[in-house]
Amino acid sequence: MTQTEWAHLPNAKHIDWVIASLKAHPQKWNAARYEAFDAAWYAGRTAAWDATRDAARDAARNAAWGAAWGAAWDAAWDAARGAAFDAIAALIAYDDCAYMIESEVGELKIIAKLGDPRAILLLPACIIYNETKVLV
């Protein structure tokens, strides 16, 4: 495996999975984004991105975000990219959230509706994981 700018992060394996999954299944990411979308998701996503930006302010995380964002940008088309960007943002900002990708979709939807920014941003990734059952 090539050394990435995010390799030092605790969730590096999961960031790699998001990018690989996006390349392999852009249509699934697009569908998952729309499945996760509702009014609560939209409101919560804004708050989640604000929290993510605040958590990722240090230089190392900003460099990782820029590199991972670029890799995701190259991987697939716009709608699918949005869901992957959300997942990557959560994985960079929150060291304790990778387990959510492998959670039950219904359980994560409840946590997301309660406003947890990690769950809001990772819900499409959780949907993809539960469909494919493949993690890097």
Nearest 10 degrees: Cα torsion 48, 49, 53, 56: 60
- For the cut 70, the answer to whether the pLDDT of residue 125 exceeds it is yes
Q: What is the DSSP-derived secondary structure letter of residue 31?
A: H
The pLDDT of residue 15? 92
- For the cut 50, the answer to whether the pLDDT of residue 42 exceeds it is yes
Confidence of residue 79 (pLDDT cuts 50, 70, 90): low
Nearest by Cα to 51 from 93, 108, 13: 93
Angle subtended at Cα 54 by Cα 100 and Cα 15, rounded to the nearest 5 degrees: 40
The pLDDT of residue 72? 64
Task: Specify which of 14-18, 70-74, 83-87 reaches the highest per-range mean pLDDT.
Answer: 14-18
CB 89 within 8 A of CB 12: no
> Length of the chain in residues, anyone?
136
- Whole-prediction pTM: 0.76
DSSP-derived 3-state class of residue 85 = helix
The pLDDT of residue 135? 72
Segment holding 38, helix H or strand E: none
